[in-house]
Amino acid sequence: MADLRFSGIGMTSARTRDRLIQRLREQGIVNLSVLDRIRNTPRHLFVDEALGSRAYEDTALPIGFGQTISQPYIVARMTEALLEAGPLRNVLEVGTGCGYQTAVLAPLVGRLCTIERIGALLDRAKERLRELDIRNVKFQHGDGSGGWKSQAPFDGILVAAAPLALPQALLEQLEVGGRLVVPVGPEGEQELMRFTRGEQGVRRESLGHVAFVPLLGGRG
């Protein structure tokens, strides 16, 4: 029964997932490891059962508390952008949400530290990752805009919500050569950015327009 739950049937089956992967390829995702993780991560387990039949549509879906699970293309694009220059040892994720992005990214890096401000979402994410036997994740309930200083420096940081401006604390916790992928800007004007920290400064690249929930402070 557990295997069937993970592998899915009908609109959550392997055939449905393969159609999603073909769509992501057509949109420009080329990293085979990322595509494999999208194919094999049971997204239907990260949404409410009533939305399970829509889990492999390339769309964001509500997960409660005013939050959404990102569309698969965005998860794939951000993961690919983070990993583009090579393997990462110690990565920070700001905004665990339901844990889907965490589940896609964690097996591709050495260790993943993830922060979520809403306790109920964090508890749900922990349960799902435990079910999937993903063990290289360290969780924190807190305000991710300040990073996670005790676990820094990071060679990769991924932010799954949009600050109005880049939090300086995140750049400060990025090691030289490290990469930060983050949506920045107000609603309707957000850009997905990649910052690479060098010896002489920070290089910034725009990866296109996106739409994310805002990055909020405090704990919920």
Pair of tokens at residue 8:
């899915």
- Does any domain span residue 50? no
The answer to whether residue 182 is domain-embedded is: yes
Q: Is 117 part of any domain? A: yes
| Count of structural domains, the chain | 1
Answer whether residue 109 is part of any domain: yes
- CB of 24 closer than 8 Å to CB of 72: yes
Average pLDDT, the chain: 94
Which among 56, 172, 147 is positioned nearest to 93, based on CA atoms? 147
Q: Which pTM was predicted?
A: 0.94
Q: What is the pLDDT of residues 22-56, one digit of tens each?
A: 999 999 999 999 999 999 999 999 999 899 899 99
Phi/psi region, residue 183 (left: phi>0; alpha: psi -120 to 50; beta: rest), is beta
Active site residue 70: yes
102 assigned to some structural domain: yes
For the four alpha carbons of 192, 66, 218 and 121, in that order, the dihedral sign comes to negative
The answer for residues whose C-beta is within 8 angstroms of residue 153's C-beta and 6 or more apart is 90, 173, 174, 175, 178
The CA-atom distances, in angstroms, between 154 and each of 73, 144, 196 are: 24, 14, 12
pLDDT digits (tens, 9 = 90+) for 168-217: 999 999 999 999 999 999 999 999 999 999 998 999 999 999 999 999 88
Residue type at 198 in one-letter notation: G
CATH of the domain at 174: 3.40.50.150
Residue 79 domain flag: yes
On whether residue 106 sits in a domain, the answer given is yes
User: Per the residue annotation, which of 70, 145, 150, 206 is the catalytic one?
Assistant: 70
Range of the domain at 174: 64-210
At 60 the three-state DSSP class reads: coil
HSE-CB of 22 using CA atoms within 13 angstroms = 6
Residue 157 lies inside a defined structural domain of this protein: yes
